[in-house]
């Protein structure tokens, strides 16, 4: 085995570990840098801003995961968020989704952990959908669209999340 083989093998292993998706995005940046350096700089600045807004939720998610790993057994998670928990799990997910902050992808590690430890797909879908209700920025929405519109949209969003939860439960009922 020569040095080239070793380098190729290491490159493939690194790509596999890091993932093809981030490598693909970096390649897009490379192309963007050649085609339009100014827009690429704007893109990098925007990414930095997104990263800043998600830093606090990421810390929160890590803390919740740490506490779950330390104190909560998978069986407890199954009991609270598993299929057998029924509407209780859906209501908990609704409340948690409304109260959660930050970009949705900051919550994916926690959702994955809950799913691996027995949480049902329906409450996870309901949680993600209810993130559409943003309590801290409701006043901003009211300023643009008025109380009545915001009230109706919020109510229908919560009801829509329940419809989604039922649909996901039906689709994944044999799992």
Partner 1 sequence: MKIAVPAQAPNLESAVSRRFGTAPYLIVADTATGAFEAVPNPGASAARGAGMQALVLALNEDVQAVLTRHCSPTVVEHLKAHDIQIVSGLTGTVGELLARYKRGELGPANVGRAGAQETMGLFAKTAWQAAMRQSCKEFGSMLPILAGVVLLVGLLRGFVPAAMLGRIFSGRVWRDTLCGACAGSLFAGNPVNSYVIGAELLKQGVSLFAVTALILAWVTVGLVQLPAEMAALGRKFAVLRNAACFVLALPLAVGTVLLLHWLSGFAP
What residues numbered 51-80 form the site for partner 1, per CB under 8 A?
51, 53-54, 61-62, 65-66, 69-70, 73-75, 78
Binding track, positions 79-118, relative to partner 1; x by CB under 8 A:
------------------------xxxx-xx-xxx-xxxx
Q: Does 144 bind partner 1 (CB under 8 A)?
A: yes
Q: Are 162 and 90 in contact (CB under 8 A)?
A: yes
Two structure tokens written together for 19? 């993932």
Q: How many CA atoms lie within 13 A of 125 on its CB side?
A: 16
Q: Does 162 bind partner 1 (CB under 8 A)?
A: no
Between 1 and 170, CB nearer to partner 1: 170
The DSSP annotation for 50-67 comes to HHHHHHHHHHHHHHHHHH
From the list 4-12, 33-41, 87-95, the region that binds partner 1 by CB under 8 A is 33-41
Phi-psi region of 102 (alpha: psi -120 to 50; beta: other; left: phi over 0): left
Please state the closest distance from residue 134 (CB atom) to partner 1, in A: 6
């Amino acid at each position: 085995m020569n040095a080239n083989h070793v380098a190729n093998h290491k490159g493939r292993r690194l790509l596999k570990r890091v993932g093809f998706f981030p490598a693909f995005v970096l390649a897009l940046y490379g192309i963007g840098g050649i085609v339009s350096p100014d827009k690429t700089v704007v893109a990098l600045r925007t990414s930095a801003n997104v990263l800043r807004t998600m830093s606090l939720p990421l810390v929160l998610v890590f803390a919740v995961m740490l506490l779950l790993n330390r104190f909560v057994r998978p069986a407890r998670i199954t009991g609270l968020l598993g299929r057998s928990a029924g509407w209780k799990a859906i209501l908990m997910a609704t409340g948690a989704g409304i109260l959660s902050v930050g970009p949705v992808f900051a919550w994916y590690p926690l959702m994955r952990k809950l799913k691996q430890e027995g949480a049902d797909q329906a409450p996870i879908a309901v949680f993600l959908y209810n993130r559409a209700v943003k309590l801290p920025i409701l006043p901003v929405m009211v300023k643009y669209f008025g109380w009545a519109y915001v009230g109706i949209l919020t109510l229908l969003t919560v009801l829509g999340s329940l419809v989604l939860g039922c649909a996901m439960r039906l689709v994944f009922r044999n799992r």
